[in-house]
Chains A and B, each alone.
Chain A
Amino acid sequence: MTPAAVSWAWLVLLLPLMGTAVIALGWKILPGRLAGYLGTLTIGLSFLAGIATYFSLEALPPEGRRLVGSAFTYIGTSNLNVDLSILVDPLSVFMVLVVTGVSFLIHVYSIAYLGSDRGYARFFSYLNFFVFSMLLLVLAGNFVLLIVGWAFVGAASYLLISFWYRRDTATNAGIKAFVINVIGDVGLVIAAFLILDRLGTLDYLGAFEAARQIPPGDPTIVAACLLLLVGAFAKSGQLPLHTWLPDAMEGPTPVSALIHAATMVTAGVYLIARCHPLFEAAPSAAAVGAIIGTLTLLFAATVALVSTDLKRIIAYSTISQIGYMVLGVCAFAYSAGMFHLMTHAFFKALLFMGAGSVVSAIGMTNGSIDRMGGFRKAMPFTFATFTIGAGALAGLPLLSGFFSKDEIISYTLHRGGLYTVLGYCAYLAAILTAFYAFRMVFRVFFGKPVPEAKELAGGEQAHVAPQNPLTGEEEDTDVGFPGPEHHIAERAFGMKAAMAPLALLAVVGGVVAIPGLTAGVETFLEPTFAGSPYLADRPPEAEQITGLIIGGVLALVGVGAAYVVYMRRPGLAGSAQKKLAGVHALFFNAWYLNQLYDRVFVRPGRAAGRFGRTTVERVLVQNTIVGGATGVVRAGTALARAVQTGYLRAYALLLLVGVCALALYFLIASG
């Protein structure tokens, strides 16, 4: 008798798959906007099924909240048994709710945002496919299905990033994302091999049970964890595999909101949290993860300080915030990390949606904040929601980000040792985060209104000739490029309907985990992390409240600094840039990592490809192997052809020679 929770979980998984199939196969016959509504409906139903799963899971006693539902045995050999199974436990239900909830809102946003795009139906089938893959990843009950979901998510990401496929920049970005994801995939697969080798099974529960019996520091487990980290960092955009995330802003804004804020990039964090017994058995790997998380946190914050493209600032902010989450889960503060995952999903998606609205207002031809300013009066709704998102990002007191971020930091400080240092780095990053978050707000919405803002305030939306925002080359509005109309939140109800709930959640989302008062997330996730020695090791309330206060103060300091720099003394930013030109250039070029990778990997790769094409392909294969074979045959046939002279008498001679030979044979044979 399958528990109700498992049945609901299967439903959660299958609804988006059905949506994909129906839209992908029937998009030609679905009238008008139906594809979008259908896609949104499946995700909405999936979310409701997720809620049903939650309730049925909560109805069970805490010890019994780890359910495995198996569809069929995928591999059944003597020493390897892999089922097509899903694991329904609090962690996966948590992720399901976050993924389906935010996805539903983003689908609603997309109906309006991409309403005039020619590839409307394709987008929704891709989005549904992505949600299905993400849910598969999250609900997987063993490493095999995890890898399947992981790969699908990467594929969906590629499809969605290069959605406007006629843009070269978009397709290049898609390829870049995919290649870097593959590096992570390789790490993940090898990690799975090592886990199978050492622990004997690929099933989560079985592997984790076995891991708990092994003393910490086992080299195979450490290696496996490091490789898991490689996979997680590729997917979550941490150093050094982060370069694809800023480029992935080539995709439409809903894609950025969904994939690169709320769901796909959190897959790495989920992975580490899921495999926590392995990481607890390999503390060195966890430490490595925490260090890299913190480094990424600081690195991305510095780049976001000086970047000028609005969506890219938000992208670097994502990289930075995921650094927080990685730090949290690698410091064994699982519920804190997951809590920040949830709140981050809310405010980051909100920020992206707002950015989409602003970019639409200037005709989608430019994303630079240099071209934006003073949109406050023209776009009040966008302004309000964007500010709420930025505030939550900055960690302004009482907003959701405030609680989640500072919980991580207090846990980290409590962990002690190396983690104390990392905790202080996180505080530094908090100031930077608050600064750049409100840099965005002040630059875009305050200041002198740009012409588009003035027009919009007067009721007219700017119409600009379509062009590629990065390169400026001209485009048209047919399939493969953005559609002719650009929708802003003030005018599109769908966008407002999506942004409003997220704004609300960004404000009140923190109430579920106020230290000392509520411990919603922690209690909910406890059954998953039961058995972890770190579960009970939480910082005392006093420390947590102190941490909250410090965090709040730092956030206000950051916001205040941004206010001063951008509102009170407008020239300050410019002069600082000139004085610290070297530092500015370093930050602006993302610490030249892209250029480094280009030199070290891309150029040799391209040269190798060219070499292969010209030398190996042309000389070896075509000329030698193929040409040689045909040459030999040709020579042989030429030789044979030489007999066909066309001379009658030569043929007659051959006849005669043949007869002579025959006669000779008979002469000899007869004696």
Chain B
Amino acid sequence: MIFEAILFFVAAAGAIAGALGVVVLRNPFFSVLALVGHLLALAVLFLLLRAEFVAAAQVVVYAGAVMVLYVFVVAYIGGIEEPLGASAGPLRILGPLFAGVLLIEIAIATIGSGLRAVSSAGPVVGANFGSPEAIGALLLQKFLIAFEAASFLLLIAAVAAVVLARRRRGLEEAGGDTPLQIGRRPAKGPQADDPAVAGTGGEAGRSIDERTPTVAQGG
């Protein structure tokens, strides 16, 4: 019991420290690292709650894959150091204020409600509780549709990522002001003066292949 309590407090402290680190640290890279620590602390807490599979998934998927993704992006974009206290005026105070309000409300709800619902440690559960076997059974029987929907969502996200990451032709020169339509030439740019090209500015719907020879001649 004591062991559990000590573990709980240590993990809780780690989680809170990580959370605060995310919010307070100025360098986004450090924020990412703080989040990773936070996630690991949370994994310990999950274990305390007899959610072994979820804890494993948290470490492997969340801390392992998603955070790595974050690290990549931060490395690509570069950590832009925000000066402290740079937020918009009222939000500096109102943000934390309302967050605190929410915290107090939930605290009241939890603690002030007589503690009957949440005072106990919960019923005695079998060894199977939280094991992959139990989760798998639930996923494939009771929550089959949610499971399939989640996988569908993952597919969509993957496709979306590809679409978002795709390069648009000619957009680098234009600077990104033109609408993202296939095959439309930007108005500005070195090729706009050419009469063969300028006349094609109004053509929408013509396939790219058709127009390429014209561009080649005009260029």
B164 CB-CB contact with A under 8 Å = no
B91 CB-CB contact with A under 8 Å = yes
- Of A649, A650, A653, A670, most B-chain CB atoms within 10 Å: A653
A643 CB-CB contact with B under 8 Å = no
Determine the residue in chain B with the shortest Cβ distance to A649.
B91
Question: How near does chain B come to A665, taking the closest CB pair, in angstroms?
Answer: 10
Residues in A whose Cβ lies below 8 Å from that of B101: 660
Contact B88 A667 (CB under 8 A): no
Residues in A whose Cβ lies below 8 Å from that of B109: 663, 666-667
Contact of B91 (CB < 8 Å), options: A653, A659, A663, A670: A653
Residues of chain A from 618 to 671 with CB closer than 8 A to chain B in the complex: 647, 649-650, 653, 656-657, 659-660, 663-664, 666-667, 670-671
Contact of B88 (CB < 8 Å), options: A647, A659, A671: A647
Count of B interface residues, CB-CB < 8 Å: 14
Contact of A650 (CB < 8 Å), options: B91, B105, B108, B113: B91
Contact B88 A656 (CB under 8 A): no
Residues in B whose Cβ lies below 8 Å from that of A664: 105
Binds A, one of B43-51, B92-100, B121-129: B92-100
Q: In the docked arrangement, what's the CA distance between A659 and B23, Å?
A: 21
Contact A663 B102 (CB under 8 A): yes
Contact of A667 (CB < 8 Å), options: B87, B91, B99, B105: B105
Residues in B whose Cβ lies below 8 Å from that of A647: 88
B57 CB-CB contact with A under 8 Å = no
Contact B108 A657 (CB under 8 A): no
Contact B95 A649 (CB under 8 A): yes
Contact A653 B108 (CB under 8 A): no
Count of A interface residues, CB-CB < 8 Å: 14
B106 CB-CB contact with A under 8 Å = yes
Residues in A whose Cβ lies below 8 Å from that of B98: 653, 656-657, 660
Question: How near does chain B come to A664, taking the closest CB pair, in angstroms?
Answer: 6
Q: In the docked arrangement, what's the CA distance between A659 and B102, Å?
A: 8
Q: In the docked arrangement, what's the CA distance between A647 and B89, Å?
A: 12
Contact A660 B95 (CB under 8 A): no
Residues in A whose Cβ lies below 8 Å from that of B88: 647, 649-650
Residues in B whose Cβ lies below 8 Å from that of A670: 113
Residues of chain A from 459 to 503 with CB closer than 8 A to chain B in the complex: none
Question: How near does chain B come to A217, taking the closest CB pair, in angstroms?
Answer: 90
Residues in B whose Cβ lies below 8 Å from that of A650: 88, 91
Question: How near does chain A come to B10, taking the closest CB pair, in angstroms?
Answer: 30
Contact B99 A663 (CB under 8 A): no
Residues of chain B from 100 to 141 with CB closer than 8 A to chain A in the complex: 101-102, 105-106, 108-109, 113
Question: How near does chain A come to B105, taking the closest CB pair, in angstroms?
Answer: 4
Contact of B102 (CB < 8 Å), options: A649, A660, A666: A660
Contact B106 A653 (CB under 8 A): no
Determine the residue in chain A with the shortest Cβ distance to B101.
A660
Q: In the docked arrangement, what's the CA distance between A664 and B94, Å?
A: 17
Contact A667 B95 (CB under 8 A): no
Q: A663-B109, A667-B108 are in contact. Are A656 and B102 (CB under 8 A)?
A: yes
Question: How near does chain B come to A646, taking the closest CB pair, in angstroms?
Answer: 12
Question: How near does chain A come to B115, taking the closest CB pair, in angstroms?
Answer: 14
Q: In the docked arrangement, what's the CA distance between A467 and B94, Å?
A: 83
Question: How near does chain B come to A599, taking the closest CB pair, in angstroms?
Answer: 67
Residues in B whose Cβ lies below 8 Å from that of A660: 98, 101-102, 105
Residues in A whose Cβ lies below 8 Å from that of B91: 649-650, 653
Determine the residue in chain A with the shortest Cβ distance to B87.
A649
Residues in A whose Cβ lies below 8 Å from that of B99: 656
Determine the residue in chain B with the shortest Cβ distance to A654.
B98
Q: In the docked arrangement, what's the CA distance between A666 and B106, Å?
A: 11
Question: How near does chain A come to B168, taking the closest CB pair, in angstroms?
Answer: 25
Residues in B whose Cβ lies below 8 Å from that of A656: 95, 98-99, 102
Residues in A whose Cβ lies below 8 Å from that of B87: 649
Q: In the docked arrangement, what's the CA distance between A276 and B171, Å?
A: 97
Contact B102 A653 (CB under 8 A): no
Question: How near does chain A come to B58, taking the closest CB pair, in angstroms?
Answer: 25
Residues of chain A from 211 to 246 with CB closer than 8 A to chain B in the complex: none
Contact of A653 (CB < 8 Å), options: B94, B105, B113: B94
Question: How near does chain A come to B100, taking the closest CB pair, in angstroms?
Answer: 10
Q: In the docked arrangement, what's the CA distance between A649 and B105, Å?
A: 22
Q: In the docked arrangement, what's the CA distance between A597 and B28, Å?
A: 90
Determine the residue in chain A with the shortest Cβ distance to B108.
A667
Contact B95 A663 (CB under 8 A): no
Residues in B whose Cβ lies below 8 Å from that of A659: 102
Residues 177-199 of chain B, each 1 if its beta carbon lies under 8 Å from chain A, else 0: 00000000000000000000000
Determine the residue in chain A with the shortest Cβ distance to B105.
A663
Q: In the docked arrangement, what's the CA distance between A663 and B87, Å?
A: 27
Residues in B whose Cβ lies below 8 Å from that of A667: 105, 108-109
Determine the residue in chain B with the shortest Cβ distance to A659.
B102
Determine the residue in chain A with the shortest Cβ distance to B98.
A656
Q: In the docked arrangement, what's the CA distance between A667 and B113, Å?
A: 9
Contact A663 B106 (CB under 8 A): yes
Residues in B whose Cβ lies below 8 Å from that of A671: 113
Determine the residue in chain A with the shortest Cβ distance to B95.
A653
Residues 381-419 of chain A, each 1 if its beta carbon lies under 8 Å from chain B, else 0: 000000000000000000000000000000000000000
Question: How near does chain B come to A489, taking the closest CB pair, in angstroms?
Answer: 70
Q: In the docked arrangement, what's the CA distance between A649 and B95, Å?
A: 9
Q: In the docked arrangement, what's the CA distance between A671 and B108, Å?
A: 11
Residues in A whose Cβ lies below 8 Å from that of B102: 656, 659-660, 663
Residues in B whose Cβ lies below 8 Å from that of A657: 98
Residues in A whose Cβ lies below 8 Å from that of B94: 653
Q: In the docked arrangement, what's the CA distance between A659 and B99, Å?
A: 10
Q: In the docked arrangement, what's the CA distance between A666 and B88, Å?
A: 31
Question: How near does chain A come to B23, taking the closest CB pair, in angstroms?
Answer: 13
Question: How near does chain B come to A106, taking the closest CB pair, in angstroms?
Answer: 67
Question: How near does chain B come to A391, taking the closest CB pair, in angstroms?
Answer: 84
Residues in B whose Cβ lies below 8 Å from that of A666: 109
- Of A656, A666, A670, A671, most B-chain CB atoms within 10 Å: A656
Q: In the docked arrangement, what's the CA distance between A667 and B102, Å?
A: 11
Q: In the docked arrangement, what's the CA distance between A671 and B116, Å?
A: 14
- Of A656, A660, A666, A670, most B-chain CB atoms within 10 Å: A660
Q: In the docked arrangement, what's the CA distance between A344 and B109, Å?
A: 108
Q: In the docked arrangement, what's the CA distance between A666 and B99, Å?
A: 17
Residues of chain B from 62 to 103 with CB closer than 8 A to chain A in the complex: 87-88, 91, 94-95, 98-99, 101-102
- Of A647, A664, A666, most B-chain CB atoms within 10 Å: A664
- Of B98, B99, B108, most A-chain CB atoms within 10 Å: B98
Question: How near does chain B come to A334, taking the closest CB pair, in angstroms?
Answer: 86
Residues in A whose Cβ lies below 8 Å from that of B108: 667
Determine the residue in chain A with the shortest Cβ distance to B102.
A660
Residues of chain A from 571 to 595 with CB closer than 8 A to chain B in the complex: none
Q: In the docked arrangement, what's the CA distance between A423 and B32, Å?
A: 121
Determine the residue in chain B with the shortest Cβ distance to A652.
B95
Residues in B whose Cβ lies below 8 Å from that of A663: 102, 105-106, 109
Question: How near does chain A come to B148, taking the closest CB pair, in angstroms?
Answer: 30
Q: In the docked arrangement, what's the CA distance between A657 and B101, Å?
A: 9
Question: How near does chain B come to A323, taking the closest CB pair, in angstroms?
Answer: 79
Residues in A whose Cβ lies below 8 Å from that of B105: 660, 663-664, 667
Q: In the docked arrangement, what's the CA distance between A666 and B98, Å?
A: 17
Q: In the docked arrangement, what's the CA distance between A6 and B8, Å?
A: 117
Question: How near does chain A come to B85, taking the closest CB pair, in angstroms?
Answer: 14
Question: How near does chain A come to B15, taking the closest CB pair, in angstroms?
Answer: 21
- 10 CB contacts below 8 A, A to B, read A647-B88, A649-B88, A649-B95, A650-B91, A653-B91, A660-B101, A663-B109, A664-B105, A666-B109, A667-B108
- Counting from the closest, the 7 A-B pairs by CB-CB distance are A663-B105, A656-B98, A660-B101, A660-B102, A657-B98, A649-B91, A667-B109
Besides A656-B98, A656-B99, 11 new A-B residue pairs in contact (Cβ under 8 A), listed by A number: A647-B88, A649-B88, A649-B91, A650-B91, A656-B102, A660-B101, A660-B105, A663-B109, A666-B109, A667-B105, A670-B113
Q: What residues make up the interface of B, taking CB atoms closer than 8 Å to A?
A: 87-88, 91, 94-95, 98-99, 101-102, 105-106, 108-109, 113
